[in-house]
Chains A and B, each alone.
Chain A
Amino acid sequence: MLPIMQSSLKLLKTAPPTAFLGLTILTVVLFAGVFAPWIAPYGETDVVGAPGLSIGGDFLFGTDQIGRDVFTRILYGARNTVGIALLVTAMAFFIGVVFGLISAVSSRWVDQVLSRLVDILMAIPPLILALLILTIAGTSVLNMVLVIAVLDSTRVFRLTRAVGMNVAVLEFVELARLRGEGTWWIVRHEILPNITAPLAAEFGLRFCFVFLFISALSFLGLGIQPPTADWGSMVRETSTLISFGIATPLVPAICIALLTVGVNLIVDWFLYQSGMRKE
């Protein structure tokens, strides 16, 4: 067995039950997303039965307002919603970390310009800014991805800048400078390795935020568009069923909440492990 596997197994054994729950949820969702076409009993957009069948009949989670299998669409939704949320978070991180590091190691002037710009972006509620930009650019998945990535990168920027600046004034960085290393080398070899832990924790929290944001936009009909299966828009589409006493819209909504709770639990455990949280 590889040493890295051994150490992660050891870590898993010490995990508290809450972290275990979080890991289980995350694994199940990722598995469902990756293997959706193989697990799902029907196709993503196939109409397979009467519309609005309730939960627990012939179909595990019933059928939606036009008779598609909700269980199938939940599996595909795991692929679409979580996939897009991961993509957006990764993009937000790339933008935020690059500019945050530039801000941390550059002259005061560059730092001031970038920071004030971010201050202004953060002073506007993200949902409102997203709605404004989506009106100009038109509602499409690509536009939504770009808008949320840029809006969310502001928070990553703030964190990267703050932790990067703390490291940038330490002795070993100064030593590297005196040795004549270039700025890019210092960032890669001295600063980045020292700020990965807070950034990793932030990735989990940002993912939760992005995921809820995408779900909210899709729920409002401004994000991922039908007939693509997506948890947020599934809630919207099946919402009329609830007035007939059928709980179908709760299924995708609960999936969204479960995944967010799961990731939060993992982040909590991680913070505790890496000594960033005492309680």
Chain B
Amino acid sequence: MIQIVRLVAQRIALGLFTLLIVTLLIFLAVELLPGDFVDAILRQGRTQESVEVLRRQIGLDQPAYVRYFSWLTNAAQGDLGYSFSNERPVSDLIGNRLYNTFFLAGYAAAMAVPVALTFGILAALYRNSVFDRVVNITALSAISSPEFLAAYILIFVFSIQLGWLPSLAHIAIDTSLWESLKLLFLPAVTLTLVTVAHMMRMTRAAIINLMTSPYIEMALLKGVGPKRLILRHALPNALSPIVNVVAMNLAYLVVGVVVVEVVFVYPGLGQLLVDSVSKRDMPVVQAGCLVFAVTYIGLNLVADILSIITNPRLLNPS
């Protein structure tokens, strides 16, 4: 038990350290920008005085490390500065979009995880059968295709040819849950297709990997049936790598959302981020990157911790 606690504490410390470095990186990005905030905000009508006043107002007369810590504490409290392009607070711009992005990612995850585990276990159970081959080939092509291919094929078939589902995910604050589930069905399926393949392959590999170990052979010799063999004997030990790959894919999902949001014109954080990159609206990009990076690192941390906790060898040390 103490061993586990120590391992977990180590991982958390490492994760926090990485987060700190990442925030530093994102902060330094602005420092590298030619000119500063003031030049960007006061494009015309600038006088020596107005520049000085504004500089003092937003604290640019202070050294960089002071500004870094005030930026960090402000960001932790939800104050992310003002957008260059429309001078609204970044937190206002992001708030609702963040919810939209997480909603879409969660929706996709709710479909992808059960499908991936079921197909992975079935493929391992019926190894080298036609079913296994078909699943493998599908997985390879899904991994190799860009997100937008899956998205446009789905749009072309289900919303243009068949007219069953909308091709654009126009969602407003007052859209009902049922309506948003329907609007978001195609984007969520796209994300599912892209992530299922990897999770499924790893599940299959983790189980097959275990099948060669002596204790499985023992169970086989004892006359245990194939279903019981996989579900009772192999799965508990395969759980740790599987849980790990699931959490890692959820992290990937949150980032992969960017392209899918652009395809379906979905008002999420990814689309805002892409728009702001082409407008070079630094505070918004900073905030967007911060949110994505924190989520990604956080989920990877969860993946590590879960894989430690679910490892039966660590739980019952002999």
Contact = CB atoms under 8 A, between A and B. Distances in A.
A229 interface: no
Which secondary structure dominates where chain B touches chain A? Answer: helix
A243 B296 contact: no
B152 A235 contact: yes
A222 interface: yes
Contacts of B274: 131, 220-222
Contact of A131 (B32, B251, B285): B285
B160 A132 contact: no
Interface stretch (B40-48, B56-64, B140-148, B218-226): B140-148
Nearest to A244: B160
A138 B26 CA distance: 16
A239 B259 CA distance: 13
B21 to A, nearest CB: 5
A120 B148 contact: no
A120 B248 CA distance: 16
Interface stretch (B115-123, B174-182, B184-192, B276-284): B276-284
Interface in B261-314: 262-263, 273-274, 276-278, 280, 282, 285-286, 288-289, 292-293, 296-297, 300
A131 B146 contact: no
Contacts of B259: 216, 219-220
Given A128-B255, A135-B285, A260 B145 contact: yes
B145 A219 contact: no
A250 B150 CA distance: 9
Given A135-B29, A135-B277, A222-B278, A250 B258 contact: no
Interface string B45-80: 000000000000000000000000000000000000
Nearest to B297: A123
Contacts of A220: 258-259, 262, 274
A166 B152 CA distance: 45
B141 A257 contact: yes
Nearest to B291: A128
A239 B152 contact: yes
Contacts of A178: none
Interface residues of B, number: 47
Nearest to B168: A243
Contacts of B18: 119-120, 123
Contacts of B152: 235, 239, 242, 249-250, 253
Which secondary structure dominates where chain A touches chain B? Answer: helix
A139 B277 CA distance: 8
A176 interface: no
A189 B145 CA distance: 39
Given A124-B296, A132-B26, A221-B274, A235 B148 contact: yes
B161 A127 contact: no
B280 A131 contact: no
Contact of A256 (B145, B156, B167, B262): B145
A127 B255 contact: yes
B170 to A, nearest CB: 14
A124 B23 CA distance: 11
Contacts of A254: 149
B130 interface: no
Nearest to B300: A123
A257 B262 contact: no
Given A125-B255, A261-B141, A135 B276 contact: yes
Given A120-B21, A139-B278, A220-B262, A264 B146 contact: no
A116 B280 CA distance: 30
B141 A128 contact: no
B33 interface: yes
Given A139-B277, A221-B274, A128 B149 contact: no
A243 B167 contact: yes
26 contacts: A120-B22, A123-B297, A124-B293, A125-B292, A125-B293, A125-B296, A132-B25, A132-B285, A135-B282, A136-B29, A138-B280, A216-B146, A219-B148, A220-B258, A222-B277, A235-B152, A239-B263, A242-B156, A243-B160, A243-B167, A257-B144, A260-B144, A260-B145, A261-B144, A261-B145, A264-B143
Given A123-B300, A125-B292, 8 more contacts: A119-B18, A124-B22, A129-B289, A134-B277, A219-B148, A254-B149, A257-B144, A257-B145
